[in-house]
Structure 1
Amino acid sequence: MSTEETASMLRRKQGAQGLHINAEKIRDLERGRRVRGWMWRSPETLGQVARMLAHVYRVPDRVVMDAWHRSRPEDPLPVLPGRRGGQPSEESMTAWHALNDRQRDYLTCIFQQDQEAEEEQRQNRYAGAEHRPATEWRRMTLAIYAPADVVGYTRIQSRLRESGVHDSGVGSSVAALERRGLIIAYRDRVYIDGLGDVPRTLVEMTRRGRAVARAALGVRREAEPPAPLLSSWLWKIVLRVARAGAHGVDGSLSGRGPHYLAVGQSPDGRTPSRGFIVLRHPDGVTHGPYLWFITDSGRRHITDHLSAYRALYPGIDTQGIEQIFA
C-alpha cells in the first residue's frame, strides 16, 4: 500500500476532518519527522490517527502504538479514543422476552457453563497448558441418553436440576433455542462400558446467544486492558524479566507469554509480538544457555505506563521498579 493509497483511505475515515491528511504527512509520520499542523500536536489527535491506521492496515491497535512509539519516541503518547460501552441491545432483550420460562432456564444454564469453560481455558493458558481451539471446548455435552445411575448427570443438567428443571422437554427446549439462532445442537453417539453406543446431545452457544444471555442476566463482558497496556498475566512476566536485569531469566520461561512479548514471535502467526523481551546470551557471553532480557522497547513501555498499570492492577507489586531503570 503506497502512502498515497493510505492517505486516501484515511481521509474517508470518520474523524479525519481537519487533519488534512496527505501522502506527505504519512511519509513524515513513518520517518519520524514532524508532521505539520497544529492538530497533530494533540495526544488525542494522535490517538485518533493511530486507531484509523490500525483499521486501514487491519492490525490490532497495539501494533500501531508500538511501532509509533519506537519510531517517534519524542512524540507525546497517543491517547486512543475510548471504546463505546456495551449496552444491552433492544434486539437482545426482545429475543429474551420471546422465550418461555423453561427456554430461559436452558439458555441461562448453557451460558453459565460456557462462561465456566471459558474461564477454565483462560487459567490453563496462564499455566502454560497446550492451546485448544474454541471450536472444541465451546461444544459442551448437554445430555447422554442412558440411565443416570450409570452415567450420572452432565454439568449442564446439574445446573438445570438446581434450577428446578428436569430432563423432560429437553428436545423441544433445545430445538426452540436453535431455531432462534441462540445455540447450535449436535447429536452423535458415545460408547459407554456395559451399554454400548448411546445417543448424546452437545450444544454450543452462538455469539447471538451469548449476547442475549449477557443482556438479560446483566453480565458484562470482561473488559480487556486498554491498548497498548498488557493483561495482568503478561504484565507480571515483563516485570519479572525487568527485575532480573543483567542476570536474565531462565530461557525456559513457561507458558505462551513469549508468543505475545518476545522479539521475533507472534501470538497468532499474523501480527507481531510486543517485542518487550528477547532471548539471547548475556552481555559478553558467546555460548551457553540463552536467557530472557528486557528490551529498550520494554523499558520504555514500563516507564511510560507504570502509573496506568498501578491504577489498573493495584494488587501487582511494582515497588522499586523505577530504580531499575534509573
Structure 2
Amino acid sequence: MPTAARDAWDALNDRQRIYLTVLFHYDQDLEALRRRESARGRFDNTPAKAWRRIPFNNPYGPVPNSLRAQGVYDSGAGATLAALRARGLITTETAPGILRDPVSVWLTRAGRAAARAGTGARPAPARPPKGLLAERLWRQLAAAAAAERDGTRCQEMRGENHLYLCVGYEQYNSRGYLRGRSVPTGTYYVFTEAGRAHYRTHHATYRELYPAVDAPPLAEGVS
C-alpha cells in the first residue's frame, strides 16, 4: 500500500474520512456505469470531468442522503469539502443557481488512492472499450511511439502480441497497426498508416484508460 496514500488517509479526522469514503463510493459507481456502457458499445470520448462529476448539494441526491444517514450533512459541509480540497484529495466547482448554488465535486487521483488505502478497496481492472486495445497491446504501441522512426526491435515484442498488432497475421484478427522492417541490425516493428491514425485518434482516451503506461504523443513523420 503506497505510504503517501495511507498517510493522507491517516491525516484526516473521522468526519473527513466519512466524506471522502462517500464521495469515493459514488465515484466508483460512476466508473462502473461507464464500464458497463462501454461493454455495450456505447463508449464515446466524453472527458472524465464530465462523467465523473459528483453532484454534492442536491438535497435528495445519493451523496447528501448517505452523509445525512451518518449524521454529518449539516452547515459544516462546506468546511469539510474545503479541508479535503486543501489536501489535494478533491476539486470542486460552484455554479450560480436559483434556490441554491449547485456544488460539483471530483475526486483526484490522490483522493482515490487515499480512499482505497483507508477502506481497503481494490481498483477494478480496466477493460478496454469496444474498438480499443487491451493494456498489454497499447503498451507495445506506446513503445513503438517512444522509439520514433527506429521502431521496436522484434525481440522486444512481448509474447504473442505481434499476432494481434502486426501485418501478416489476419488469421488472428490482427489490427495491422505495425509492420516489420528489416535492416542490417535486425527486424523492427514500425507503424502502419492505420496504426498511426489509431494512436493519434485515441491517444488521450488511452492515457485516461491506462495511466500507468508511458505513452508519448506520436511524433510527426514517424513511420
Shorter chain as denominator, the TM-score bin is 0.5 to 0.7
1:188 paired to 2:90:
no
Name which of structure 1's ranges 160-169 and 211-220 shifts more when overlaid on structure 2. 160-169
1:89 equivalenced with 2:89 (yes/no) = no
Q: Which letter maps to 2:32?
A: E
In 1, Cα distance between equivalents of 2:31 and 2:163: 28
Contact kept in structure 2, 1:260 and 1:274, CA below 8 Å: no
Checking the alignment, whether the CA contact within 8 Å between 2:93 and 2:104 is kept in structure 1 is: yes
How many angstroms apart in 1 are the aligned matches of 2:162 and 2:65?
A: 43
Q: 1:162 to 1:297 in 2, by over 3 A?
A: same
Residues 265-322 of structure 1 deviation map (CA, whole Å, 9 limit, x = unaligned): x99xx87999859xxxxxxxxxxxxxxxx931249xxxxxxxxxxxxxxxxxxxxxxx
Q: Partners of 1:275 and 1:142 in 2: how far apart?
A: 47
C-alpha distance in 2 between matches for 1:117 and 1:108: 14
Secondary structure in 2 aligned to 1:202?
strand
Among candidates 26, 47, 59, match of residue 113 of structure 1: 26
Instruction: Report the Cα offset of residue 158 of structure 1.
Output: 1.5
Which position in structure 2 is the counterpart of 1:257? 130
8 Å contact from structure 2 (residues 43, 130) kept in 1: no
Letter in 1 for 2:108: T
Contact preservation (8 Å) 1:275, 1:297: yes
User: Are the aligned partners of 2:85 and 2:91 in contact in 1 as well (CA < 8 Å)?
Assistant: yes
* Residue in structure 1 matched with residue 64 of structure 2 by the alignment: 157
Match of 1:170 in 2: 77
Matches within 5 A, 1:31-50: none
SS at match of 1:214: helix
Equivalent position to 1:296, from 150, 164, 171? 171
Instruction: Say whether the 8 Å CA contact 1:178–1:185 is kept in structure 2.
Output: yes
Can you give the 5+ residue segments of structure 1 that lack an aligned partner in the other structure? Answer: 1-87, 145-151, 191-195, 225-230, 235-255, 278-293, 300-326
TM-score (norm 1): 0.40
Provide closer, same or farther for how the CA distance between residues 122 and 275 of structure 1 changes in structure 2, counting only shifts above 3 A: farther
Q: 2:55 is paired with a residue of what secondary structure? A: strand
For residues 234-263 of structure 1, give each alpha carbon's deviation from its aligned partner in whole angstroms, at most 9, with x where no partner exists: 7xxxxxxxxxxxxxxxxxxxxx524449xx
| Partner residue in 2 for 1:203 | 105
Percent identity of paired positions between Structure 1 and Structure 2: 34
> C-alpha separation between the residues in 2 aligned to 1:223 and 1:258?
18
Q: Which runs of 4+ in 1 moved over 6 A?
A: 270-275
In the alignment, which residue of structure 1 is the partner of 2:50?
136
CA distance in 2, matches of 1:122, 1:189: 32
Give the partner amino acid of 1:220: R
The count of corresponding residues between Structure 1 and Structure 2 is 149
Q: Alpha carbon RMSD of aligned pairs, Å? A: 3.1
Q: Which has the higher contact order (CA 8 A, sep 6+)?
A: 2
Partner residue, 1:217:
119
Instruction: Decide whether the 8 Å contact of 2:15 with 2:72 is kept in 1.
Output: yes
- Is the CA contact 1:276–1:296 (under 8 Å) kept in the aligned structure 2? no
Amino acid at match of 1:166: Y
Cα shift at 1:92: 1.6
Q: CA deviation at 1:166?
A: 2.1
Q: Distance in 1 between matches of 2:13 and 2:55?
A: 23
Q: Which residue of 2 aligns with 1:44?
A: none
Distance in 2 of aligned mates of 1:257 and 1:92? 32
- Going from structure 1 to structure 2, the CA distance change for 1:90 and 1:186 (only over 3 Å counts) comes to same
Shift of 1:177: 0.2
Matched-pair contact (CA < 8 Å) for 1:189–1:197 = no
Structure having the higher Rg: 1
Letter in 1 for 2:2: S
1:2-151 matches, cutoff 5 A:
88-131=1-44, 132-144=46-58
List per-residue Cα deviations over 1:193-245 (Å, max 9, x = no partner): xxx36311111000001000001100111235xxxxxx5xx7xxxxxxxxxxx
Distance 1:154 1:275, change over 3 A: farther
Amino acid at match of 1:163: Q
- TM-score normalised by L of structure 2: 0.58
Contact 2:38/2:130 (CA < 8 Å) preserved in 1? no
